[in-house]
Amino acid sequence: MTLEFLAPWYPTLKALHIVSVISWMAGLLYLPRLFVYHCSAEAGSVQSETFKVMERRLLRAIMAPASIATWVFGLAIPLSGAIAWTDGWLHAKLALVVLLTWLHHLMVRRWKEFAADANTRSHRYYRVLNEGPTVLMLIIVFLVVLKPF
Ligand code: HEM
C-alpha cells in the first residue's frame, strides 16, 4: 500500500524520522542511568524526589512523543513508495524496533515503581537494562544503512 501524495516528502519524512529517533534513543539510554542512581537515594529524600521529577519529565516530555513520532515517520516512508514493504531488512528492523518499544514500556513500569517508592531491583539490574537499547540501536542502524538483505 502506498499514498502517492507522500512521494515528494520522502527526504523530509526521513529527516523527521532521524530527529525523532535521536530524541527517543537519548531517553532510552539516559533513563536507566537515572534509575541506577535513584536506587541509592533514600525514599522520601530530596534526592529521590528530584530523580522522580527528572524521570517523569524525560518520559512524558521527550520519550513518549519521540517514540510515537519515530513510528509515524518511519512507517510514512514506505507509505510514500520510496521503500518497498517487502524489503527483508525492513522486516528485521521492525522486529527489533518492537523489542525496543517493549523495553520502553518496561522502563515505564519501573518508573511507576520508583514513583511509588516501591522499587525492589538493584543498580546492577538497571546497568544491564541500560545495555539493551545500546545493542538494539547498533544492529538497527547497521541494518537500515547497509540493507544487507
Ligand atoms: C519505529 C519503527 C521504524 C520504522 C518503520 C523505520 C523505517 C525506516 C525507513 C523505511 C527508513 C528509510 C530508509 C532509506 O530511505 O534508505 C528509515 C531510515 C532510518 N532509520 Fe528507521 N525505522 C523505525 C525505527 C528506527 C529506529 C528505532 C532507529 C534507530 C535506533 C532507526 C534508524 C534509522 C536511520 C539511522 C535511518 C536513516 C538511514 C539512511 O539514511 O540510510 N529507525 N527507517
Q: What tens digit of pLDDT does each residue of 95-113 get?
A: 999 999 999 999 999 999 9
- Atom of ligand 1 at shortest range from CA of 71: 1
What are the φ/ψ torsions at residue 10 (nearest 5 degrees)?
-50, -55
pTM: 0.95
User: Is 97 close to ligand 1, i.e. is its CB under 6 Å away?
Assistant: yes
**% of the chain exceeding 70 in pLDDT:** 100
Mutating to test ligand 1, I would choose from 18, 93, 94 the residue with most ligand atoms within 8 A of its C-beta, which is 93
Q: Residue 99 in contact with residue 136, Cβ under 8 Å?
A: yes
What is the C-alpha separation between 84 and 88, in angstroms, rounded?
Answer: 9
User: What pLDDT is stored for residue 95 in this prediction?
Assistant: 98
Number of structural domains (the chain) is 1
Residue linked to cell 510514500: 80
Q: How do residues 48-94 score in pLDDT, each as one tens digit? A: 999 999 999 999 999 999 999 999 999 999 999 999 999 999 999 99
Q: Running DSSP on this structure, what letter comes out for residue 83?
A: S
- Helix or strand or coil: residue 30? helix
User: What pLDDT is stored for residue 45 in this prediction?
Assistant: 97
Where would I find the beta strands (DSSP E) of the chain? none
What is the C-alpha separation between 100 and 89, in angstroms, rounded?
Answer: 16
CA angle 56, 59, 62 (to 5 degrees): 120
pLDDT band at 1 (very low <50, low <70, confident <90, very high): confident
**68 lies in which domain range?**
4-146
Mutating to test ligand 1, I would choose from 1, 10, 13, 17 the residue with most ligand atoms within 8 A of its C-beta, which is 17
**pLDDT mean over 12-27:** 98
What is the C-alpha separation between 96 and 115, in angstroms, rounded?
Answer: 29
pLDDT at 125 over 90: yes
**pLDDT mean over 122-139:** 98
What are the cell numbers at 115? 514513583
Q: How far is CA 9 from CA 3, 15, 65, in A?
A: 11, 10, 21
**% of the chain exceeding 90 in pLDDT:** 99
User: Is 16 close to ligand 1, i.e. is its CB under 6 Å away?
Assistant: no
What residue owns the CA closest to ligand 1's atom 8? 74
User: What pLDDT is stored for residue 88 in this prediction?
Assistant: 97
